[in-house]
Amino acid sequence: MKVALIGASGETGGSIANALLESGTFEIISLVRESSLTKPINVELQKKGVTLVPVDLNGPEEALVPVLAGVDVVISAIDAGLLLKQIPLANAAKAAGVRRFIPCSWATVAPPAGVMELRDAKEEVINHIKKIKLPYTIIDVGWWYQISVPRVPSGRLDYAVMMPSDTIIGDGNTLSARTDVRDIGRFVARIIADPRTLNKYVFAYNELWSQNQIYDLLEKLSGEKLERQYESEAQLLDQIASAKKETGPWAKIKVWSLEYRHSWGIRGDNVPEYATYLGYVDAKELYPDLKGISFEDFVKELLDGKGNLPYKNKTPP
Ligand SMILES: NC(=O)c1ccc[n+]([C@@H]2O[C@H](COP(=O)([O-])OP(=O)(O)OC[C@H]3O[C@@H](n4cnc5c(N)ncnc54)[C@H](OP(=O)(O)O)[C@@H]3O)[C@@H](O)[C@H]2O)c1
């Protein structure tokens, strides 16, 4: 199976590239913007057998068609700020006869519109895919372990904690599906080879954890006492309203991250029951043998100093 991956140098795309390489059953081409072709991470992927192909998503759509000739599956894990750039890619995939397109979702479960601006943009792309009748699979993964942990008072987790979960939303008891970003690719390797997932939404997550449970676990494993600072729904909604008035490069990202917290922390959207209600198929039922990294093992790894700070390779889009 020939797979074209966009975003292979990123967090999600890197997980996918690694798992596809590991499985040894895919021919992988990585669609890379010209300026990133010599990035060390891309050179490394090339050495492992990935073919790098330069693409310009701002260029003419027709130029993308020959790039996708003979490709079975296109997987996009592009920067969340560039979602609409996938529209010409989807059109080109349709023209090239691609058999399955996996647009950039990789998100928490949420309603298709009206709750999170970022979800709305993802669904705009998904709707375009449906409009042009391009076969697809949408894969949502819950909230990454890597952005689920709070800091601890000694500072020993600061080296690896990004977007620390330093406030607890609501009463802190809302469960939310969580996944180690390194496991995303393992799910993808199974999903793209599975006819049962064609034209479906798939929910592929590792474990359900509430924020209070995470704080309890951190306290148990670190031996440190964490301060629990609770944040009400009204406070969160106020923050979202004022973030929406902000401008500048980080304004959008701030809105997205606050809206995510509202969706998984207050509304309780990011759970398997709601996914089933929305029509998702559950990867746990499809692949009961696929065991991901446990959240407890992930936290132990962090406390042992073996974690990694996400986005080390990131260059602005
Ligand atoms: N569920 C969660 O908890 C969670 C957390 C974070 C993100 N996400 C989602 O995961 C998805 C992927 O995000 P990520 O954070 O994994 O991505 P990322 O690490 O930011 O990587 C973005 C990728 O897009 C590529 N890219 C940027 N501009 C490009 C262009 N003009 N042409 C071609 N490629 C370009 C980058 O390549 P270069 O090397 O060229 O820069 C990089 O490979 C997003 O939908 C995001 O919302 C989910």
Confidence tier at 60 by pLDDT (50, 70, 90): very high
Identify whether 99 is part of a domain.
yes
Mean pLDDT calculated for residue range 17-37: 97
Instruction: Tell the residue nearest (CA) to atom 6 of ligand 1.
Output: 144
Task: Report yes or no on 312 lying in a domain.
Answer: no
Average pLDDT over residues 50-73: 97
Strand 230-231 to strand 200-203: parallel, antiparallel, or no bridges (unpaired)? unpaired
Q: 114: alpha, beta or left, given left = phi > 0 and alpha = psi -120 to 50? A: left
The count of structural domains within the chain is 1
Question: Element (H or E) spanning 75, and its range?
Answer: strand 73-76
Task: Give me the CATH number covering residue 290.
Answer: 3.40.50.720
Instruction: Write the residue with the smallest CA distance to atom 47 of ligand 1.
Output: 80
User: What does the angle CA 137 – CA 140 – CA 145 come to, to the nearest 5 degrees?
Assistant: 150
State CA 242 to chain mean position distance. 26
- The answer to the question of residue 262 being in a domain is yes
pLDDT mean over 116-122: 97
Whether residue 81 lies inside any domain: the answer is yes
N- to C-terminal Cα separation, the chain:
29
Q: Mean pLDDT score of the chain, rounded to an integer?
A: 96
Q: How far is the CA of 49 from the centre of ligand 1 (A)?
A: 21
* Triad 12, 16, 19: Cα angle to 5°: 140
Rounded mean pLDDT, 3-32 = 98
Residue 314 pLDDT: 81
Look at residue 317 and tell me whether its pLDDT is greater than 70: no
Q: How far is the CA of 106 from the centre of ligand 1 (A)?
A: 10
Of 147-151, 163-167, 197-201, 212-216, the poorest mean pLDDT is in 163-167
Where in the sequence is the domain holding 208, given as residue range(s)?
2-303
275 CA from centroid of ligand 1 (Å): 24
- Residue 44 is predicted with a pLDDT of 97
Lowest mean pLDDT among 64-68, 177-181, 313-317: 313-317
Q: Please check whether residue 308 lies inside any domain of the structure.
A: no
> What is the rounded distance in angstroms from the CA atom of residue 278 to the CA atom of residue 298?
29
What residues have CB less than 8 Å from 212, skipping those under 6 apart?
168, 171, 172, 173, 228
Q: Which two tokens stand for residue 10?
A: 């990123």
- Residue 190 in domain: yes
Has residue 315 been placed in a domain?
Answer: no
Give mean pLDDT, residues 29-47: 97
Give the sheet arrangement for strand 100-102, strand by strand: 51-55, 27-33, 2-6, 73-76, 100-102
Note whether residue 310 is domain-resident.
Answer: no
Judged by average pLDDT, the poorest of 41-45, 140-144, 244-248 is: 244-248
Residues recognised as catalytic = 122
* Mean pLDDT along residues 263-274: 98
Per the CB < 8 A criterion, the answer to whether 64 and 29 are in contact is no
Probe target for ligand 1 pocket from 18, 78, 139, with the most ligand atoms within 8 Å of CB: 78
Candidate of 32, 53, 56, 106 to mutate for ligand 1, largest count of ligand atoms within 8 Å of Cβ: 106
Percent of the chain with pLDDT over 90: 95
Nearest CA to 259 out of 230, 280, 233, 229 is that of: 233
Residues 221-239 have a mean pLDDT of: 97
Burial class (CB in 10 A: 0-12, 13-18, 19+), 110: buried
φ, ψ of residue 281 to 5 degrees: the values are -95, 145
Which amino acids bring their CB within 6 angstroms of ligand 1? 6-13, 33, 36, 39, 57, 77-80, 82, 104, 106-108, 141, 143-144, 147, 311, 314-315, 317
pLDDT of residue 143: 98
Q: Is the pLDDT of residue 264 over 70?
A: yes
